[in-house]
Amino acid sequence: MHDTSEPGSAGTSGRPDFNRLLVAVRETVRRGASRDQTLQELSALLKDAVPHYDWVGFYLVDPAADRELVLGPYAGAPTDHTRIPFGRGICGQAAATEQTFIVQDVSREGNYLSCSPDVQSEIVVPIRRDGKVIGELDIDSHALAPFTPEDRAFLERVCADLTALF
């Protein structure tokens, strides 16, 4: 049977096919474009393939600043939060704790930087090299509590593959 669906698009279960999407992510990384071009393509790939990913982007640790993140490539609406100190917001907390940070309902998170009133939930996954956080993948969703353990495992595998770009 000829399959014309996008990589990772929902199958009959209605859930994204994360295994298939991971293959597409790895192909994108392997193609060897510049780091920023690759991160741009991955942002679009993930946003288009997963219905509950409404904003997908990367924050990178600024080597010239003291524990500060700077906005990198993204797909979705522009954001005012172009620089975020470690510890501030969900992004800054993920960087400071070096752990994946999932907020299923942003209205219940006191340390949160709002980009849009449409956003209801967020997941941030650190990218590490030599044990240090060098950036992170940030995903906002307009759905409440959409992130499953499968999302987390998939996104952590994606971020493990991205170390090679830095």
The correct pick among 15, 79, 128, 157 for binding ligand SME (CB under 6 A) is 79
Query: Closest by alpha carbon to 40, among 144, 148, 160, 165?
Result: 165
Whichever of 29 and 115 has its CB closer to ligand SME, that residue is 115
Query: Closest by alpha carbon to 86, among 122, 55, 59, 117?
Result: 59
Provide the edge-to-edge strand list for the sheet that holds 83-85: 83-85, 68-75, 55-61, 132-141, 121-129, 101-103
Would you count residue 102 as binding ligand SME (CB under 6 A)? Answer: no
Restricted to residues 7-26, the positions that interact with ligand SME (CB under 6 A) are none
Segment contacting ligand SME (CB under 6 A): 5-13, 60-68, 108-116, 148-156?
108-116
CA 77, CA 70: separation in Å to the nearest integer?
Answer: 16
Restricted to residues 133-152, the positions that interact with ligand SME (CB under 6 A) are 138, 140
Segment contacting ligand SME (CB under 6 A): 7-15, 17-25, 41-49, 78-86?
78-86
Whichever of 24 and 42 has its CB closer to ligand SME, that residue is 42
The correct pick among 70, 113, 134, 143 for binding ligand SME (CB under 6 A) is 113
Would you count residue 54 as binding ligand SME (CB under 6 A)? Answer: no
Would you count residue 91 as binding ligand SME (CB under 6 A)? Answer: yes
Tell me the β-bridge partners of 45: none
In 47-163, which ranges are E strands? Answer: 55-61, 68-75, 83-85, 101-103, 121-129, 132-141
- Contact set with ligand SME (CB under 6 A): 55, 79, 81, 84, 89-92, 112-113, 115, 122, 138, 140
